[in-house]
Amino acid sequence: MRIVIVGPGAMGCLFAGLLAESGQTDVWLLDKTKARADKINENGIIIEGIGGKRNIRIKATSLPDEIKYADLILICVKSYNTSEAVQSIISIVKDNSIILTLQNGLTNIDVISKTLYKGRIIAGVTSHGATMLGVGHIRHAGSGDTVIGKISPDILDQEVNQIADVFRSAGLVVSVTNDIYNFIWGKLIINASINPITAITKLKNGELLNYKETRELLKLVAEESAKIAIALGIILPYNDPILAVESVCKITSENRSSMLQDILNDKQTEIDSINGAIVEKGKELNIDTPINKVLTYLIKIMELL
């Protein structure tokens, strides 16, 4: 199986590294920047943290034509780069290629579907955490489950199970679901609650539980976001959104959220596809979402400063 990971960020490098390290797949990393791809191709991917520090050789390129084709393509770019990433892989997508998005947010499936046939798209969520330390160099800061599921019945169950088995061979804990949107919303609510508050306060995930004000904010966002999910007919993968958010804060207590890292590094955040997407769904349902709206506006202002 030829696997192409699009995007050399923390999660892209983590999955590329683990899959290449397993030695059971033909793994490529596609990067839009030639100099960065050349450096990764020369030096490999360095993973430290969970599993210890090691250097993993991998094929990296900025030229899709060099890859020729792909059986499985993992989209691991930021949500605002999804359209550009999908355009870059058109030449390597064949009739039997499967596209898997493991991205944050709610908008990625629709963006991918506008360019590529929706029947060959799988979506997933993962609880793994990773931090960029340099080009092709990451710290694997937290492990967890990965859940994947097909978007269209055109993909056979055995194809999804084969992908899950390939991931398992790389040491990943993977399960398959027929209700992936429930899990996407489950993670969306957690991200919407934790990420913007950490970005605004500069607190680590666990530190949000140390102050009554941030705990109350977590509660308000989780409740408001879950209200939208339930109105859409989503069955969340947990019974209590507030407890789920607080649990993730504890499990990832030392993590700096990706949105906080983006703000600290003067980068664009994924606020539009997380809290902003909840606001848009609220508008469609005629349900006001003042907490998500305020957080979206605050983060967008911070991006400009």
The DSSP symbol for 24 reads S
Q: Name the active-site residue from 32, 187, 227, 300.
A: 187
DSSP string, 205-252: TGGGGGSHHHHHHHHHHHHHHHHHHHHTT---SSS-HHHHHHHHHHHT
Q: Which secondary-structure segment (H or E) carries 148?
A: strand 145-150
The answer to whether the CB of 194 falls within 8 A of the CB of 257 is: yes
Whether 187 is catalytic: yes
The answer to whether the CB of 164 falls within 8 A of the CB of 126 is: no
For 257: left if phi > 0, alpha if psi spans -120 to 50, otherwise beta; the answer is: beta
Q: By three-state DSSP, how is residue 4 classified?
A: strand
Tokens encoding 47? 């993973």
Q: How far apart are CA 50 and CA 108, in angstroms?
A: 29
Task: Spell out the residues 6+ positions from residue 211 whose beta carbon is closer than 8 angstroms to its own.
Answer: none
Q: How far apart are the first and last CA of the chain?
A: 45
Of the candidates 124, 100, 131, the residue with the CA atom closest to the CA atom of residue 10: 131
The DSSP symbol for 162 reads H
The DSSP symbol for 90 reads G
The catalytic site residues sit at 187
